Amino acid sequence: TIRKDNPGRSQLQPEEYRKPNADFKALAKLTKIAKKNLVMIFQEGDKYVTQVNDRGRKESVASGEMQHRGWNAMAYEADVVLKMELGPDKLPQVVIKETGLGSTVLQNMVIPEPTWTKVMAVLGAAAKIRRAGLGVPNDPDMVIATAEAL
């Protein structure tokens, strides 16, 4: 909420985060209970770290890494965190950043030219392979092919 008495303010105060954060957490929990997919989209911004400058003063500087903006617990509540980006060929791709499927093999897997159907097929196939007690291949097409062969 931007207060009328301070129109230049662009950040919420800590006490103003409680309600939206509780609402997001409840939404994530209800989605899991209902066994539905919840898609939350966020922007990335620079990750800042505190360093001591030449004058011996602490300052906050961009680290060169990116992190999501907004609700900090989003990645912890999510079963899967995907990052959409342009690949080296300037075509869209999805990178699986984190997954709750119990396999680190999917972490950093690149899905080229993604569609919702393709991404969900890879994730569903990986879950099927894990339930069968097999290792998950590190190529999205092989993940789908392996699951279809089961």
Q: How confident is the model at residue 149 (pLDDT cuts 50, 70, 90)?
A: very high
pLDDT in tens, 132-143: 999 889 899 999
- Does residue 61 sit in helix, strand or coil? strand
pLDDT in tens, 52-66: 888 888 888 888 888
pLDDT for residue 1: 43
| Cα 141 to Cα 131: distance, rounded to the nearest angstrom | 19
Does pLDDT of 24 surpass 60?
A: yes
- Does residue 116 sit in helix, strand or coil? helix
Q: Which two tokens stand for residue 8?
A: 């230049």
> Between these two residues, 26 and 7, which has the higher pLDDT value?
26
Query: How many CB atoms within 10 Å of residue 120?
Result: 13
Does pLDDT of 102 surpass 60?
A: no
